[in-house]
Structure 1
């Protein structure tokens, strides 16, 4: 059952209280008017006592009422009293009927005014809700954290709530900015010593008098150094992809996927492209890295003589690119872990030779920076089906 909104509940509350007060007032008025009419009849002597009328006019006296047929004193007194009681009851019934109609009309009008007043009272809450939704929509790329509510008005409870929310956004914004700057600066600072280490090892390995042990050690150090360089590049890309896309351009995911398939080493795997137009808007470099990471992940976590499918299309106004691959069986509860930085299936962290553990993390960061999303589901028989959906753009 759908719950009523706060605005509707406030309107019902206003209208219900008004109707309750109106019914109470109408009931009190009914009782007071009834007592007043009864007291007036007694005071003015309108009610006729039959026995006294007989004593004054005689037992067999005959009278005419309003020129009508003759009747006895007893019949005339009874008729007069009945007319007085009917007049009094008609007056009270008229009070109830007309008062009830007026109460309903005024109650409907009061409910309408209550609806408008509730909307005006809840307008600041709607502003806070709209800002919170925009922040939540862009929080994954940390772009919504720069927005503030900036609610103006009297210093009431809602104003204090909005100011507290702005203070929280300010602290989060500073925290995320510091985190991104730290990652970017640390990555840049680590690149230089890694490049120097690689150059020194290469010089030592290529010396004519280098022994086989030194050459073997040098190859091992170069492999470790290369893995560290890939890790640094991944951190830089992750830091860059979590920022706002400053200058988006029209990009077709079909062209990006075709270019990536031409450049990436597939090995002995079978590639099944199914590329259709999928225009979107964004940073071409980041989108190319997104598709490249998907393909590299599908190649790296595959089986001998396996295959992978790269498809692109437009569905419901959104551009999609999907990479499906054969590979080891993936449990549904392990899918979310592969999108975490430095996480792999089975809880493995960085330390293997199958990458830095940032591939799908970068994919998710790039997708969210472009206002999209990425989902992954286990494929029947082993492997994954990873789909990226981005906002469409007219071709």
Structure 2
């Protein structure tokens, strides 16, 4: 039996990486504009500087095939056409070489400085976003708490300048503080309701029993007392279920190793006789299934599942099959399948909500308050597991519960095996 799989979340492109890319892209864009402007101004300056003078051209640089000769007394006032063309070609070569050198070396420098700017942006973004990571980590710890109210005592208490990030952290702290007060008030209400609601019911039951057992009580009074006791018992079960539902959604502070097989065997042994009166067979197939938690709450979980399977059954000839064992990853698994009327798939999600139950015409035994599966799921989730249901082929329902494994399951299993071996050896002797 495997628990519900958490869908894989795609890898996110983090805000820090996006800010770094924005910083780097903006710097490179500004540098490219600056480099292009410098190149344009450089070319404009070279174009406005005129041509080289004749003295800048050395005789050895004359075009090939033109003899070099010294200027004579009959030389004209300026260089000849061939020298002029040579000078202009040299200017073009020098201009192109200067522009290419400017673009190449400037581009390399821009890339180096851009990489340095991106690295600096990465560091700066990390420091700026560090308070947001604290908010995220605190919210994640509270959200991942397996029980309601756990972790609400945590606060961010961000110190620093009074900016937008600190305002966000302070607002989050205020929200968590209000939630903590709300859950604390809920716990106090549950504790007070446990006393205030059970006391009058207990008193009413005592008064009815006293009136029924008086020697002068008539048969009508005894029948009326039995009806009142049934109503009173139903109210007691309802209140007990509500209190258990509220308490099971809170944090389980103490966890102990528990073998579901022992609990299943105990609960099924108690349910066999009551189910047989309704013509329903209850069987169990158990294997070691170690988990860690509250044994009383887990017993209530198994009891509710078996009771629910008996109540919502097809009557004489029906059966309830209870199976427990270890599934993938060492998780403890429990499955309860019962015969009964066909359950539409769209009705199943509502069965785990409080006070939601199947129609009265589907009940073999009465007395349900509509809290059985709600308590099952609440107890399972308080232990870090979950509960699910699906329609059974041929009618009825199959409920599956998965619980996290006990870290010391191997050691406990070895101890149990040694104890059983010792008992068998002692019996043989």
**Under TM normalisation by the shorter chain, which class is it?**
0.7 to 0.9
Structure 1: segments with no counterpart, 5+ residues: 49-62
Quickly say closer, same or farther: Cα 1:131–1:375, change in 2 above 3 A: farther
For residues 307-339 of structure 1, the C-alpha deviation after alignment (integer angstroms, 9 at most, x for no partner) is 222222232243222222222322333222222
Q: Is the aligned partner of 1:277 residue 2:283?
A: no
SS of the equivalent of 1:310 reads strand
Asked if the contact 1:252–1:277 (Cα under 8 Å) also holds between the matched residues in 2, the reply is yes
Residues 1-395 of structure 1: pairs in structure 2 closer than 5 A: 4-40=13-49, 42=50, 45-46=51-52, 64-66=59-61, 69-70=65-66, 73-138=80-145, 140-264=147-271, 265-267=274-276, 268-304=279-315, 305-312=317-324, 313-345=326-358, 353-394=366-407, 395=409
What's the offset of the Cα at 1:360?
1.8
What's the offset of the Cα at 1:3?
6.0
TM-score, length of structure 2 as denominator length: 0.80
SS of the equivalent of 2:275 reads coil
What's the offset of the Cα at 1:197?
1.6
SS of the equivalent of 1:142 reads coil
For residues 272-300 of structure 1, the C-alpha deviation after alignment (integer angstroms, 9 at most, x for no partner) is 42322222111111111112112111111
What's the offset of the Cα at 1:220?
0.5
For residues 229-260 of structure 1, the C-alpha deviation after alignment (integer angstroms, 9 at most, x for no partner) is 11122122223212221111111222222222
Structure 2: segments with no counterpart, 5+ residues: 1-9, 69-79, 410-429
Q: Distance in 1 between matches of 2:183 and 2:137?
A: 22
TM-score, length of structure 1 as denominator length: 0.87
Q: Distance in 1 between matches of 2:177 and 2:207?
A: 46
SS of the equivalent of 1:371 reads coil
Number of residue pairs aligned between Structure 1 and Structure 2: 375
Q: Distance in 2 between matches of 1:253 and 1:316?
A: 16
- Larger RCO (CA within 8 A; separation ≥ 6): 2
- Which moved further from structure 2: 358-367 or 68-77? 68-77
What's the offset of the Cα at 1:64?
4.6
Q: Distance in 1 between matches of 2:48 and 2:202?
A: 110
